[in-house]
Structure 1
Amino acid sequence: MTPEGKALSNIVILGFGFMLMFTAFQTCGNIEQTVIKSLNNFTASGYTSMSIIYGVFSASNLVAPSVVAVVGPQLSMFFSGLLYSAYIAMFIQPRVWSFYTASVLVGFGAAVLWTAQGNVLAINSTETTIGRNSGIFWALLQFSLFFGNLYIYLAWQGHDHISEKDRQTVFISLTVISLIGCFLFFLIRKPDPSEPTPSETSEAPLHTESTDSASVSGPPRRSLCTQALDAFVKACKLSVTKEMMLLCLPIMYTGLELTFYSGVYGTCIGAMTRFGHDAKGLIGISGILIGVGEILGGGVFGILNSNRLGRNPVVLLGLLIHYLAFYLIFLNIAPDAPQAPEEGTDLQAYMTPNVGVALFCSFLLGLGDSCFNTQLLSIIGFLYKEDSAPAFAVFKFIQSIMAAIAFSYSNVLQLPWQLLLLVVTGFMGTLSFFLAEWVVVAKRRDSDYDSL
């Protein structure tokens, strides 16, 4: 197999591993608040759990590059995946103490997992393939929203209350699926070195310091402590570069809207009594349509996207798509839906609640999210190819802080205020992304001029 073929194979395996793991975890996140409301004498909150996860996630990103540098990305992903599986398995026999303990552990695992994922993505890509590979990975990952939520819809259709048997059947199945995804990571092979093409030479990434974490396996040349310290210092340095500071705002926005589409919106749909007895089952259909939007966006804006137009038009399109979704949700969903009790809310917003509009908004949320994330993966993978683990750790550090904040205010802030925050942050993040892309283009042109 050619080096490029092996690299592409690694990306596909990476995508399938994440698809199975997040079929389990994202389905879990989408339904957990609804499940918790059905439990007797269970005082924990799904929103609080997710806030803990993303809070620990953000703090752990400070040390995640060091873990990946010492353990290697392959084992890092495997052991992190086991923590995800443990979190899902906790719902088979839920206890408040185990729920919050598992939330802390999966927060740490998430930081290591996504840092290692960014490392594997970058070292198996070139400047000419990073956009394609980001799209392939993103599209495969988002199939996770389809399969798990389809099962939820079929299993829970017409259920007003989630029984213990329903819950245990779902979470045993999700735990097994997550474990299979973990073991797929062992199929990833060390990429072969390849000769750079002329275009790769003239358009090299702007940051070219090397790091020993850019290998899937192999003995370290330096002491483990030195590698860990170097990875931490490098992450701190990258966080204050001009390009990364410009990308902070769009990354912050993806953290807020991640919380909204993955945890809040499904809960809102399930709480709408005016959607009828199938409202709980509609949570699954909503998740499926979010996944369809993500997959379509990953394919069109990642795999098929040409660099001739640049990244800015795709990000602008994502913002407009999200604005349309937010406006329709504002009109269609009751303002108290995020905090409604298990029996739901009888209130309505500014129009007669419509299931078709609600599900169309799910699709728009996924499509817009894919626009932002494929372009962020592409630009960060290009800028920091040789420092990929620290760079993606910074990315996830910023994103997870905002997700933790968003899950915290989801407990108390009514829907219109949550939407207003998304509108303002999305506008600012898009402008900031434009500036970052223009800096990349300007420096690339300077590099081309100097090479003449």
Structure 2
Amino acid sequence: MDKKFVNVIILGFGFMFVFTAFQTMGNIEERITIIESRSFSKVFLSHWKFSKLKTLLDSIDKEDNNFSGDGYTSMAIIYTTFSVCNWLAPSFISFTGPRVAMLVGSLTYTLFMITFLFPSNWLLYLSSGILGAGAAITWTGQGNFLARCSDVSTISRNSGVFWALLQSSMFFGNIFVYFQFKDKEHIDAGTRGMVIGVLTAVAILGIVFLAALRPMADNSIGTSEAQRQIQEQRTGWGSAVYALKSAGRLFITRDMLLLSVAFLYTGMELSFFSGVYGPSIGFTKKIHNTPKEIVGLTGICIGAGEVFGGGLFGILGKKTTRFGRDPIVITGYVIHMMAFFLIFLNLPDNAPFKDTEDISYLDPPRPWIALICAFMLGLGDACMNTQIYSMLGGVYVKNSVGAFALFKFTQSIAAAISFFYSSYLGLRAQLIILVIFGTIGTACFCIVEWAAKRRQREETPEDSRTLSD
């Protein structure tokens, strides 16, 4: 394996360990009281946190009368700061480079988890804000580093391999916590300390992997002497300001505005399968004798679809590069539309709100259909995201920092909006919105991809003539 691909694998393992720890902590931070309360903060950050377990924060609150920290408020601070700081991430990375940015960002994840060992309202919310900023530079740095490790022929493979490793984080931590919290009505201080300690150690292991990444040359810099001189003149604050302006100019270009529609869809479907679909199954009482137990299996099936899709596109990277990104995105679109249709048939319209005896068109609702749909949601998401990564790291290699920052900004805004309306709209209305944005977003992505193919065909004859001369 070449040095670049080894870096991609190390990057994937680093993120897998860091997010095994963080996502597990997020899932146990607040037990779901989803959508029984219509407040924005609770719906915004639900994810699929159904559990019979006492919440971590609730357990701390019962032992410490001075602590009243709220998990939903904490997560709201995280994602609000994350959205805003995506605009500042390119400037930060212009100072530090992507490797240092990812290390600094991953340290904020670890700091956030350690704060649970020292319960304090102000410390919880302060660390949440710091984490939001750290997440912005972490993900923007990851996209830029992935682009540095790739070229036109390898970006699809590398995106798939990274995605498969990242999504593996959905399994390990939650299995560990399940057995640690099993049959516990109250999470005592000893159990909390042990779980937080183990998750912190896992996050530190991820940081060690990220620290092991080897430097890669910035492939956004031109090779001519004039281009190198221009780059050398942009140092310090001048480079940071240039990065911010460059991201702003990129955002208003025709192709990026089209891609933003696809970014919006990924945020909407992310919020649906992570915050609406699982609870909808859990609230549908006729689907199973103990419907809430299926929710855990739903998360596993979503993760299996994500890992399968990422692994498949990693293995078939060369073939997918030859045929383009649009067939995979269209495949993901078709898979999602099929899943939405089956969900429409299987779950009642009021399923997202509360326990219900209602049915949709299938009587009784089928749990195996619900699990198949979960796998399809994960697989379709992998189709979309791996090819967006491939697009941004390939077509936008000259400004990959700005491109990935805009992607995460748009995606997080869309997720926030969809979490908000999910507390007011029934399941069918939400599915209609997803179908509309999925159709438009897929079409917009294909338009940009076809334009990129056309430009590549136009440039190839000129390169050939130059070589022959």
TM over 0.5: yes
- The within-5 A match list for 1:271-290 is 271-274=283-286, 279-290=291-302
In the alignment, the residues of structure 1 paired with residue 69 and residue 433 of structure 2 have an alpha-carbon distance, to the nearest angstrom, of: 28
Q: Considering only CA atoms, is the larger Rg found in Structure 1 or Structure 2?
A: 2
In structure 1, what residue type is equivalent to 2:164? A
CA-based RMSD of the aligned residues comes to 3.1
In the alignment, the residues of structure 1 paired with residue 193 and residue 365 of structure 2 have an alpha-carbon distance, to the nearest angstrom, of: 32
- The within-5 A match list for 1:123-142 is 123-142=148-167
Q: State the shift of 1:430 in Å.
A: 0.5
Match of 1:254 in 2: 266
* Structure 2 residue 186 is the aligned partner of structure 1 residue 163: yes
Q: Which stretch of the first structure deviates more once superposed, 396-405 or 12-21?
A: 396-405
Q: State the shift of 1:327 in Å.
A: 2.2
Residues 150 and 285 in structure 1, CA contact (< 8 A), matched pair in contact too: no
Residues 79 and 132 in structure 2, CA contact (< 8 A), matched pair in contact too: yes
Question: Which of the numbers 433, 436, 442 marks the counterpart of 1:430?
Answer: 442
Q: State the shift of 1:110 in Å.
A: 1.4
Match of 2:83 in 1: 58
Q: Which stretch of the first structure deviates more once superposed, 108-117 or 269-278?
A: 269-278
Match of 1:27 in 2: 24
Q: State the shift of 1:154 in Å.
A: 4.9
* Structure 2 residue 418 is the aligned partner of structure 1 residue 399: no
Distance 1:153 1:358, change over 3 A: farther
Match of 1:5 in 2: 2
Residues 153 and 283 in structure 1, CA contact (< 8 A), matched pair in contact too: no
Residues 149 and 288 in structure 1, CA contact (< 8 A), matched pair in contact too: no
Q: State the shift of 1:288 in Å.
A: 1.9
1:162-195 CA distance string (max 9 Å, x none)? 63247666554433322321232100011379xx
1:320-371 CA distance string (max 9 Å, x none)? 111122222233334444444xxx5555444323322222221111100000
1:85-127 CA distance string (max 9 Å, x none)? 3444556677765555444332222111111001110111111
Match of 2:140 in 1: 115
1:17-41 CA distance string (max 9 Å, x none)? 1111122233344555535675558
Match of 2:343 in 1: 329
* Structure 2 residue 280 is the aligned partner of structure 1 residue 268: yes
Distance 1:286 1:378, change over 3 A: same
Distance 1:271 1:169, change over 3 A: farther
Distance 1:235 1:264, change over 3 A: same
* Structure 2 residue 236 is the aligned partner of structure 1 residue 239: no
Distance 1:50 1:265, change over 3 A: farther
Q: Which stretch of the first structure deviates more once superposed, 433-442 or 162-171?
A: 162-171
Match of 2:99 in 1: 74
In structure 2, what residue type is equivalent to 1:240? I
In structure 1, what residue type is equivalent to 2:434? L
In the alignment, the residues of structure 1 paired with residue 449 and residue 193 of structure 2 have an alpha-carbon distance, to the nearest angstrom, of: 47
Distance 1:359 1:17, change over 3 A: same
Q: Which stretch of the first structure deviates more once superposed, 287-296 or 93-102?
A: 93-102
1:202-258 CA distance string (max 9 Å, x none)? xxx9x8768xxxxxxxxx875421221111111112212222122111111111111
Residues 51 and 407 in structure 1, CA contact (< 8 A), matched pair in contact too: no
Match of 2:333 in 1: 319
Q: Could you tell me which runs of 5 or more consecutive residues in structure 1 were left unpaired when the two chains were aligned.
A: 194-204, 211-219
Q: Which stretch of the first structure deviates more once superposed, 364-373 or 286-295?
A: 286-295
Give SS of 1:423's match: helix
Give SS of 2:461's match: helix
Residues 145 and 290 in structure 1, CA contact (< 8 A), matched pair in contact too: no
Q: TM-score, normalised by structure 2?
A: 0.80
Q: State the shift of 1:55 in Å.
A: 3.0
Distance 1:331 1:169, change over 3 A: farther
Q: State the shift of 1:377 in Å.
A: 0.7
Q: Which stretch of the first structure deviates more once superposed, 321-330 or 16-25?
A: 321-330
Match of 1:178 in 2: 203
In the alignment, the residues of structure 1 paired with residue 383 and residue 272 of structure 2 have an alpha-carbon distance, to the nearest angstrom, of: 16
In structure 1, what residue type is equivalent to 2:329? V
In structure 1, what residue type is equivalent to 2:294? L
In structure 2, what residue type is equivalent to 1:375? Q
Q: State the shift of 1:144 in Å.
A: 1.0
Give SS of 2:151's match: coil
In the alignment, the residues of structure 2 paired with residue 189 and residue 228 of structure 1 have an alpha-carbon distance, to the nearest angstrom, of: 24
Match of 2:46 in 1: none
Question: Which of the numbers 14, 19, 31 marks the counterpart of 2:11?
Answer: 14
Match of 1:309 in 2: 323
1:282-311 CA distance string (max 9 Å, x none)? 333222221111111112234314123211
Give SS of 1:357's match: helix
Q: State the shift of 1:376 in Å.
A: 0.7
Match of 1:417 in 2: 429
Question: Which of the numbers 157, 171, 186 marks the counterpart of 1:146?
Answer: 171
Distance 1:354 1:127, change over 3 A: same
Distance 1:323 1:155, change over 3 A: farther
Distance 1:221 1:154, change over 3 A: farther
Q: State the shift of 1:76 in Å.
A: 1.3
Among all aligned residue pairs of Structure 1 and Structure 2, give the percentage whose two residues are the same amino acid.
42
In structure 1, what residue type is equivalent to 2:129? V
In the alignment, the residues of structure 2 paired with residue 175 and residue 334 of structure 1 have an alpha-carbon distance, to the nearest angstrom, of: 40
Residues 26 and 262 in structure 1, CA contact (< 8 A), matched pair in contact too: no
Distance 1:25 1:411, change over 3 A: farther
Residues 315 and 430 in structure 1, CA contact (< 8 A), matched pair in contact too: yes
Q: Which stretch of the first structure deviates more once superposed, 385-394 or 327-336?
A: 327-336
1:254-294 CA distance string (max 9 Å, x none)? 11111222333333344444466754543332222211111
Q: Which stretch of the first structure deviates more once superposed, 161-170 or 385-394?
A: 161-170
Give SS of 1:188's match: coil
1:54-109 CA distance string (max 9 Å, x none)? 33222111110111111222221122112223444556677765555444332222
